[in-house]
Amino acid sequence: MSEDKLTGYRGELRSALEKVGAEIGDRLEIAVNNQQYTGSLMPRVESYDDWHIILKLKSGYNIGLAHSDGMKIKKVGVAEKPEFRPPPLPEAEPGLPKVSIISTGGTIASRVDYVTGGVVSAMTSRDLLGIVPELVEIADVDADILYSVFSEDLTHKEWEGMAERVYDKIDAGADGVIITHGTDTMGYSAAALSFALQDLPVPVIFVGSQRSSDRPSSDNATNLMGGVYTAAHAPFAEVVVGLHETTSDTSIAYLRGTKVRKCHTSSRYAFQPVNDWPIARYIDGKVEMINDRYRPRQPSEPRLLNRFSDKVSLVKFHPDFNPTILDWLIDDGVRGIVIEATGLGQVCKDLWPAVDRARKEGVIVGVTSQCIWGRVHLDVYSHGRELVDRGAVPLEDMHPETAYVKLKWCLGQTDDTEEAKRLLLTDLVGEFNPRTPYLEGSR
Amino acid sequence: MSEDKLTGYRGELRSALEKVGAEIGDRLEIAVNNQQYTGSLMPRVESYDDWHIILKLKSGYNIGLAHSDGMKIKKVGVAEKPEFRPPPLPEAEPGLPKVSIISTGGTIASRVDYVTGGVVSAMTSRDLLGIVPELVEIADVDADILYSVFSEDLTHKEWEGMAERVYDKIDAGADGVIITHGTDTMGYSAAALSFALQDLPVPVIFVGSQRSSDRPSSDNATNLMGGVYTAAHAPFAEVVVGLHETTSDTSIAYLRGTKVRKCHTSSRYAFQPVNDWPIARYIDGKVEMINDRYRPRQPSEPRLLNRFSDKVSLVKFHPDFNPTILDWLIDDGVRGIVIEATGLGQVCKDLWPAVDRARKEGVIVGVTSQCIWGRVHLDVYSHGRELVDRGAVPLEDMHPETAYVKLKWCLGQTDDTEEAKRLLLTDLVGEFNPRTPYLEGSR
């Protein structure tokens, strides 16, 4: 991810390393607290602090040494320069299901190359099998790099590209597809692909990790192995997200792409179902089905519907909300606005004129709730009815992010506002749950 | 809430009632499906459909009769006109703690007056003790109406008014204060009062209900009784929200005002702690303390700091986010923007120029996470560090709504940007939790 010769090192520690001419991969001798350590200087992929040197010892273990005034650093060897030496590639066992892995970036794809010491930002099949050689016993895996970007930089263009690549892999005979992806916007991408790839014959599984592979608590390998097994064998054919289900390493939950969101900044089980149960879980080397509402694996011809409008906005209502924001958006030419209203779908009455204007100008206004869980119901209170009378569209139990992605998709399919509204209100891939579970069901 | 003589009736059913000249409270004889019912016409406070007539029978029970073509409606008596007949007012037992109840509107304050049949929109002490006569055994209660508005219409002006009224009640010797409030924006108001009333001597408890008192599953009375007991006796002195803790009616959780949000559109235990544990719980007629981090009840002089800026905006980042929105806000003269970023606090790089501009023009940009749970950490990835380098302020484990309210408060206290930033980053009333619990701790 970087040309930096001291990737991840900052401040005083960086100066100390520069002083001895150290670069990532160089062999260093470090003396601190009457102890001496020799090893290769590792890059820091995630930097929670800026005072630890990471050394890879001969034993293969990484250690972190806190920088202090008394620390002595000596360079005793030079890094082998980045000529990539592939690990021996294991052969897949014959007759195994075919699983394609598409890499788009993110923490799961960032790994430290222990030969060169450089940070490799995305995985080829070779890289992957180098990290998790067990995969060859699970499936006949092929992997390639589609994108190598931070997930917060992904746009609808990449959603379109991902959908197309998955389509091609299925066309080429994949029994399941894995997309490795940064977790930050994984929920949005999973919703996007749910709409962009319909009538799926096989599972499409987003896999990510919350801790990079150079950290001891990494969920990288577990999530990948579970994902590949599930892609190969699970009886469902939907777009799902699969990361740790709980604090423990023992199970991975597969959550419907339209009913999932990242609900914790750092925990390994950050992904939670919204108004739905998990579809399945990978545990003890098997796939357990949980939800009776799913599309089964089947011999069908997938449809690639990968057009998204970029004229849609997601707006969160709050006390003292400035209604002018909606006017700015309409002036700017948006064709759709999803509002995160309060409670059952209420906003303050100062917003009504802008909603009126939106209708007059053919802009679809969808209403969701910032509660996230539960269903909007604009018929209960008079403020809600005022919104419906002004043409606003209550979006059932879709959470705001999925509603936003769906409206982008609807307006990417058609230029006709009424047809887009009809699509928006039709349950296409399980995005509406007729039986919305309460919190205890969803967490 | 309305001068309407057929409150809550709509469409064909309303026409049918108008045809016989019926008004709320009138005695009607209704024949339907070979059955005949006589009773007073009740208003519809919450209207999940528009085809049921609600009659109050002589027995005291309400029934809903589905309107159909064969239904015959006959008016047989006229409503007593709205001359309010107070129920006998029970006397508080001597020596009980004093609890003041301030009503601001919302579902909990909407009750059907069974004498006139009208909808009473807010509660006086008399109304309240008429509904929950048990309160006189718990505390010496006084109640008055401050506002009578839908909670989605509340602004910082009402936050200022609420804080002042609470301050006055404490000054007049209240041992605890209850604010009844609509649930939709209760989290925002509770955060606002947490900052606006510091050094509290007694608890200030927001109480609401998710189901109005004319529905069988109403949580109205339980939440009030628990709230009054807790206000009178609890050992903490903070601003909290108190509604049902679980699906059961048996316990009420008291959640710190800065660490609470409404997480379900309709469930009775919609309020959940964010990055914190509940402070206390009311169960079996007692208050149990849960969290060891709280401000104890104490003889202190409260400080009234009730000024909020209206030049602050809360903006949710999403894929394809239009950076121009930040420019519009700066052009419009905002002094602060809270961004709901992704994950640990990342946004796409297209936003950086607007963040640069914000700094140049003295606009504070605070960074929170749309994950809601967890802590932002802008130091982990390079995109986060880019934001910090541009002057953006990571707001620890405050969820976006609390961060928004706090920034409004900070900019209401001072015109000096640096001083506002200092306040923003200081833990004032427990809004930063040094030990952010994971999901299992918080739900």
Q: CA distances (Å), B72 to each of A5, B16, B55, B65, in order?
A: 87, 9, 14, 11
Shortest Cα–Cα distance, A139 to chain B (Å): 32
Report the pLDDT value the prediction gives residue B63, as an integer from 0 to 100: 74
Shortest Cα–Cα distance, A11 to chain B (Å): 13
**Helix (H) or strand (E) segment spanning residue A341:** strand A336-341
Shortest Cα–Cα distance, B331 to chain A (Å): 12
Contact A46/B438, CB-based, under 8 Å?
A: no
B366: pLDDT confidence band, cut at 50, 70 and 90?
A: very high
pLDDT tops 70 at residue A72? yes
Contact B383/A320, CB-based, under 8 Å?
A: no
Lowest mean pLDDT across A194-203, A385-394, B204-213? B204-213
A364: pLDDT confidence band, cut at 50, 70 and 90?
A: very high
Please tell me which residue, A47 or A65, carries the higher pLDDT value.
Answer: A65
Is the separation of the CB atoms in B367 and B379 below 8 Å?
Answer: no
Q: Mean pLDDT throughout B248-252?
A: 86
B117: pLDDT confidence band, cut at 50, 70 and 90?
A: very low
Q: Mean pLDDT throughout B40-65?
A: 71
Catalytic residues of B: 107, 183-184, 262
- State how far the Cα of A382 lies from the Cα of A392, in Å rounded to an integer: 14
A441: pLDDT confidence band, cut at 50, 70 and 90?
A: very low
- State how far the Cα of A382 lies from the Cα of B121, in Å rounded to an integer: 14
Q: Mean pLDDT throughout A227-243?
A: 97
pLDDT tops 60 at residue A418? yes
Place of tokens 């108190």: B242
Mutate to test the interface with A, among B342, B350, B373 (most CBs of A within 10 A): B342
Shortest Cα–Cα distance, B173 to chain A (Å): 31
- State how far the Cα of B193 lies from the Cα of B163, in Å rounded to an integer: 6
Is the separation of the CB atoms in A381 and B106 below 8 Å?
Answer: no
Residue numbers in A near B246 (CB within 8 A): 440
pLDDT tops 60 at residue B48? no
Lowest mean pLDDT across A91-95, A220-224, A376-380, B51-55? A91-95
pLDDT tops 70 at residue A389? yes
A230 in helix, strand or coil? helix
Residue numbers in A near B383 (CB within 8 A): 150, 152
Q: Across chain A, what does the average pLDDT equal?
A: 87
Q: Across chain B, what does the average pLDDT equal?
A: 87
Is the separation of the CB atoms in A327 and A357 below 8 Å?
Answer: yes
- State how far the Cα of A273 lies from the Cα of A263, in Å rounded to an integer: 9
Do domains A11-77 and A312-424 share one topology? The answer is: no
- State how far the Cα of A265 lies from the Cα of B437, in Å rounded to an integer: 12
Find which of A55-64, A279-288, A431-440, B383-392 is predicted with most confidence, using mean pLDDT: A279-288
Residue numbers in A near B343 (CB within 8 A): 152, 182-184, 262, 265
Please tell me which residue, A251 or B94, carries the higher pLDDT value.
Answer: A251
Contact A383/B152, CB-based, under 8 Å?
A: yes
**What size, in residues, is chain A?**
443
Please tell me which residue, A69 or A351, carries the higher pLDDT value.
Answer: A351
Question: For the segment A127-186, what is each residue's pLDDT rounded down to a tens digit?
Answer: 677 667 788 889 999 988 898 888 899 999 999 999 999 999 999 999 999 999 999 999
Shortest Cα–Cα distance, A142 to chain B (Å): 29
pLDDT tops 90 at residue A5? no
Q: Mean pLDDT throughout A413-418?
A: 97
Residue numbers in B near A346 (CB within 8 A): 150, 152, 184
Percentage above 90 pLDDT, chain B: 61
Candidate from A316, A319, A400 with C-beta closest to B185: A319
Size of interface A-B (CB pairs under 8 A): 191
A116 in helix, strand or coil? coil
Helices and strands, counts by H and E, chain A: 12, 23
Q: Which residue of B has its CA nearest to A404?
A: B318
Residue numbers in A near B156 (CB within 8 A): 319-320
- State how far the Cα of A10 lies from the Cα of B114, in Å rounded to an integer: 71
Contact B262/A343, CB-based, under 8 Å?
A: yes
Candidate from B189, B264, B369 with C-beta closest to A371: B264
Q: Summarize chain B as % helix, strand, coil (round to 5).
A: 25, 25, 50
Mutate to test the interface with B, among A342, A379, A399, A406 (most CBs of B within 10 A): A342
DSSP letters spanning B351-395 = GHHHHHHHHHTT-EEEEEETT-BS---TTSSHHHHHHHHTT-EE-
Catalytic residues of A: 107, 183-184, 262
Q: Which of A31, A162, A27 is nearest to A105 (CA)?
A: A162
DSSP letters spanning B383-429 = HHHHHHHTT-EE-TT--HHHHHHHHHHHHHH-S-HHHHHHHHTS-SS
Report the pLDDT value the prediction gives residue A84, as an integer from 0 to 100: 39
Residue type, B272: Q
Contact B377/A48, CB-based, under 8 Å?
A: yes
Helix axes B400-413 and B186-196, enclosed angle (nearest 10): 40
- State how far the Cα of B186 lies from the Cα of B189, in Å rounded to an integer: 5
Question: B11-77 — its CATH code?
Answer: 2.30.30.520
- State how far the Cα of A102 lies from the Cα of A172, in Å rounded to an integer: 14
Report the pLDDT value the prediction gives residue B119, as an integer from 0 to 100: 45
State both tokens at B219. 């949580």
Report the pLDDT value the prediction gives residue A442, as an integer from 0 to 100: 34
Report the pLDDT value the prediction gives residue A114, as an integer from 0 to 100: 42
Report the pLDDT value the prediction gives residue B219, as an integer from 0 to 100: 76
Percentage above 70 pLDDT, chain B: 85
- State how far the Cα of A70 lies from the Cα of A31, in Å rounded to an integer: 8
Residue numbers in A near B188 (CB within 8 A): 318-319
- State how far the Cα of A276 lies from the Cα of B38, in Å rounded to an integer: 44
Q: Which of B380, B372, B369 is nearest to B345 (CA)?
A: B369
Shortest Cα–Cα distance, A293 to chain B (Å): 22
Greatest distance between any 2 Cα atoms in chain A:
77
Lowest mean pLDDT across B35-39, B98-102, B110-114, B297-301? B110-114
Is the separation of the CB atoms in B145 and B183 below 8 Å?
Answer: no
Helix axes A324-331 and A352-360, enclosed angle (nearest 10): 20
Helix axes A156-171 and A186-196, enclosed angle (nearest 10): 50
How many Cβ atoms from other residues are within 10 Å of residue A219's Cβ? 25
Candidate from B188, B267, B349 with C-beta closest to A374: B267
Report the pLDDT value the prediction gives residue A123, as an integer from 0 to 100: 58
A117: pLDDT confidence band, cut at 50, 70 and 90?
A: very low
Contact A374/B325, CB-based, under 8 Å?
A: no
pLDDT tops 90 at residue A6? no
- State how far the Cα of A155 lies from the Cα of A161, in Å rounded to an integer: 10
Extended strands (E) in B69-214: 72-77, 98-103, 111-112, 119-120, 140-145, 176-180, 197-198, 204-207
A419 in helix, strand or coil? helix
Q: Mean pLDDT throughout B47-53?
A: 68
Lowest mean pLDDT across A5-9, B45-49, B169-173? B45-49
**Which residue ranges make up each domain of chain B?**
11-77, 98-304, 312-424
B235 exposure class (CB count in 10 Å sphere: 0-12, 13-18, 19+): middle
Mutate to test the interface with B, among A14, A46, A110, A152 (most CBs of B within 10 A): A152
What contacts B239, CB < 8 A, 6 or more positions away? B190, B193, B194, B197, B200, B204, B205, B206, B256, B257, B429
- HSE (side-chain half, CA atoms, 13 Å) at B231: 38
| Fold (CATH) for A98-304 | Rossmann fold (3.40.50)
**Helix (H) or strand (E) segment spanning residue B251:** strand B251-256
- State how far the Cα of A285 lies from the Cα of A118, in Å rounded to an integer: 33
B148 exposure class (CB count in 10 Å sphere: 0-12, 13-18, 19+): middle
Is the separation of the CB atoms in B408 and B237 below 8 Å?
Answer: no
Residue numbers in A near B408 (CB within 8 A): 320
State both tokens at B133. 């006569």
Is the separation of the CB atoms in A369 and B184 below 8 Å?
Answer: no
Place of tokens 């000249």: B21
Report the pLDDT value the prediction gives residue B214, as an integer from 0 to 100: 58
Residue numbers in A near B375 (CB within 8 A): 265-266
**Does ipTM top 0.85?**
no
Shortest Cα–Cα distance, A342 to chain B (Å): 5
Contact B344/A265, CB-based, under 8 Å?
A: yes
Residue numbers in A near B49 (CB within 8 A): 379
Q: Mean pLDDT throughout A327-340?
A: 98
- State how far the Cα of B266 lies from the Cα of B218, in Å rounded to an integer: 12
Report CA Rg, chain A.
Answer: 25
Is the separation of the CB atoms in B208 and B180 below 8 Å?
Answer: yes
Shortest Cα–Cα distance, A34 to chain B (Å): 31
Mutate to test the interface with A, among B10, B149, B155, B184 (most CBs of A within 10 A): B184
Report the pLDDT value the prediction gives residue B319, as an integer from 0 to 100: 98
Q: Mean pLDDT throughout A73-82?
A: 76
B58 exposure class (CB count in 10 Å sphere: 0-12, 13-18, 19+): exposed
Candidate from B153, B263, B322 with C-beta closest to A439: B263
B294: pLDDT confidence band, cut at 50, 70 and 90?
A: very high
Report the pLDDT value the prediction gives residue A12, as an integer from 0 to 100: 85
A22: pLDDT confidence band, cut at 50, 70 and 90?
A: very high
pLDDT tops 80 at residue B95? yes
Candidate from B182, B265, B313 with C-beta closest to A374: B265
| Fold (CATH) for B312-424 | Rossmann fold (3.40.50)
Question: For the segment B369-424, what is each residue's pLDDT rounded down to a tens digit?
Answer: 999 999 999 887 778 888 999 999 999 999 999 999 999 999 999 999 999 999 99
Residue type, B284: D
Place of tokens 């309303």: B14
Candidate from A267, A319, A438 with C-beta closest to B247: A438
State both tokens at B159. 């936050």
Is the separation of the CB atoms in B209 and B220 below 8 Å?
Answer: yes
B268: pLDDT confidence band, cut at 50, 70 and 90?
A: confident
Lowest mean pLDDT across A77-91, A110-124, B301-315? A110-124
What contacts A434, CB < 8 A, 6 or more positions away? none
Contact A152/B348, CB-based, under 8 Å?
A: yes
Mutate to test the interface with A, among B2, B151, B152 (most CBs of A within 10 A): B152
Q: Which residue of A has its CA nearest to B185?
A: A342
B353: pLDDT confidence band, cut at 50, 70 and 90?
A: very high
Report the pLDDT value the prediction gives residue B114, as an integer from 0 to 100: 42
pLDDT tops 60 at residue A48? no
Question: For the segment A273-332, what is each residue's pLDDT rounded down to a tens digit?
Answer: 999 999 999 999 999 999 999 999 999 999 999 999 999 999 999 999 999 999 999 999
Candidate from A48, A312, A319 with C-beta closest to B380: A48
Q: Which of A124, A87, A121, A127 is nearest to A102 (CA)?
A: A124
Residue numbers in B near A369 (CB within 8 A): 265
Find which of A61-75, B70-84, B266-280 is predicted with most confidence, using mean pLDDT: B266-280
**Helix (H) or strand (E) segment spanning residue B55:** strand B52-57
Residue numbers in B near A188 (CB within 8 A): 318-319
Candidate from B156, B317, B329 with C-beta closest to A320: B156
pLDDT tops 60 at residue A236? yes
Report the pLDDT value the prediction gives residue A44, as an integer from 0 to 100: 73
Contact B312/A320, CB-based, under 8 Å?
A: yes
Report CA Rg, chain B.
Answer: 25
Question: For the segment A184-196, what is each residue's pLDDT rounded down to a tens digit?
Answer: 999 999 999 999 9
Please tell me which residue, A123 or B162, carries the higher pLDDT value.
Answer: B162
Shortest Cα–Cα distance, A372 to chain B (Å): 6
- State how far the Cα of A304 lies from the Cα of A159, in Å rounded to an integer: 12
How many Cβ atoms from other residues are within 10 Å of residue A160's Cβ? 18
Question: For the segment B297-323, what is each residue's pLDDT rounded down to a tens digit?
Answer: 999 999 999 999 999 999 999 999 999
Place of tokens 């009402």: B158
